[in-house]
Amino acid sequence: MTGTTDALPNIYGLDVEALAALGPLSGQPAFRSRQIADWLYVHGAKSFEEMTNLPKELRQRMEKSCRIDRGRLVETIATADGSAVKALVGLDDGRAVEAVWIRDDGRETLCISSQVGCAYECDFCATASMPASSNLSAGEILGQIAEMRDEMARREATDLGNIVFMGMGEPLANYTAVTAALRLICGEPGFGIAARRITISTVGLTPEIVRLAQEPFSVRLAFSLNATTDEMRNDLMPVNRKYPFRKVFDALREFQRLKKSRVTLGYLLLKGINDTSEDARRLAGFARSLQCKVNLIAYNPHQFSAYAAVDNAGVEAFRRAMAPIAPQVMVTVRWSKGAEIQAACGQLAGGRPITAEEKPGDS
């Protein structure tokens, strides 16, 4: 889009109630806002002209008073085996975010971002190398899903099954926009994805974990622990100084109590740092006390970090060391896909400024 059109309010990301409050819908039947939401989120309409069950006069009024901008897929890169596709999604102000589509035994998972950059400075994460973070709007979060859903259709993939907020940024630091997006991801009209298929990953923002537990949707929660002592976690994840992980555990217990859903403890294994048998036993004790799950994550090296990965045998030895302490705890290993294209867990840092030619606009 060019000229004054850019100044028009963007309606992508608005729910039915917010759409109903728009000036052009004044005096219209109540169902009109629902029709528009259906076009935006179910059918993926990018223009008002596509909304053929709206009166032509209304479509023209909408066109003059607001715009539809969900971002634009600027470029994609795929692994050789097609198991991961990383996308750069351009936003209308020149920012960009990355999203990753992961394919695993017929299961399609989309990893999306909630911020450009991240302020939490986790020492092992590539996103922390980016400039100061900025929040995405609900529409910019949803736009990643819409653009990648179209990309999946172009590649003849099956329907999107799972969404994980594990891309760039800390989701709970952008709480208002993330929860607004969740209502449309799970809602009708909306993307219609069941809440149980959505996972929010957090570094441990305790007040927001408790707030999320009180929301009407029951998404899954993953806590990035990554250390079993405060001293180590302070070094790896400075957020631990404000929210010590044992305090976070209290919030996780409340989340599990209210949602009747087990939290997952994410544990990134770093060679010679947090991979001792003592770490394994402590982690098992935490999981047993919380009655939660554990996801062991193989570290994915990148240019911004000097950490080394634990090899397969070391990961398995760590898992075996946990077993006697917590035999009933479910422990899985996440072998991240997409490392060869810097699309695996902890590697997203490629958001780059978008040129004027690449900016979202009329198709």
Q: What is the pLDDT along the chain (363 residues), one digit of tens a residue?
A: 344 456 899 999 999 999 999 999 999 999 999 999 999 999 999 999 999 999 999 999 999 999 999 999 999 999 898 888 999 999 988 888 999 999 887 788 999 999 998 999 999 988 888 877 799 999 999 999 999 999 988 888 777 889 999 999 999 999 999 999 999 999 989 999 999 999 999 999 999 999 999 999 999 999 999 999 999 999 999 999 999 999 999 999 999 999 999 999 999 999 999 999 999 999 999 999 999 999 999 888 877 778 999 999 999 999 999 999 999 999 999 877 776 777 667 767 766 555 556 555 544
Answer for the pair 268, 299: CB distance below 8 angstroms, yes or no. Answer: yes
In this structure, are strands 264-269 and 293-298 parallel, antiparallel, or unpaired? parallel
Answer for the pair 315, 335: CB distance below 8 angstroms, yes or no. Answer: no
Which pLDDT value is given to residue 361? 55
Question: Is 292 among the residues known to form the active site?
Answer: no
Task: Name residue, tokens 């099956």.
Answer: 158
d(CA 340, CA 311): 17
Catalytic residue among 98, 108, 170, 208: 98
pTM over cut 0.75: yes
Q: Would the CA dihedral through 51, 357, 359, 97 be positive or negative?
A: positive
**C-alpha pair distances (Å), 352 with each of 72, 130, 131, 269:** 14, 10, 11, 29
Residue 363, C-beta contacts closer than 8 angstroms, at least 6 positions apart: 46, 47
Which pLDDT value is given to residue 5? 57
**C-alpha pair distances (Å), 182 with each of 112, 120, 194, 204, 298:** 12, 23, 10, 19, 28
Task: Say which DSSP state 10 is in.
Answer: B
Residue 201, C-beta contacts closer than 8 angstroms, at least 6 positions apart: 164, 165, 166, 171, 221, 222, 223, 224, 266
d(CA 227, CA 244): 11
Task: Name residue, tokens 């109540």.
Answer: 30
d(CA 186, CA 194): 6
Question: Is 345 among the residues known to form the active site?
Answer: yes
Strand-pair partners of 224: 266
Answer for the pair 128, 237: CB distance below 8 angstroms, yes or no. Answer: no
Which pLDDT value is given to residue 358? 58
For the domain with range 3-68, which CATH number is right: 1.10.10.60, 1.10.150.530, 3.30.700.30, 1.20.140.10? 1.10.150.530
Show me where the domains of the chain are located: 3-68, 101-341
Per CATH, the homologous superfamily of domain 101-341 is: Aldolase class I (3.20.20.70)
DSSP 3-state assignment of 95? coil
**C-alpha pair distances (Å), 111 with each of 103, 214, 289, 343:** 11, 24, 29, 10
d(CA 331, CA 225): 14
Answer for the pair 144, 259: CB distance below 8 angstroms, yes or no. Answer: no
Which pLDDT value is given to residue 2? 42
Residue 97, C-beta contacts closer than 8 angstroms, at least 6 positions apart: 88, 89, 91, 113, 116, 136, 140, 144, 167, 168, 351
Catalytic residue among 122, 188, 345, 357: 345
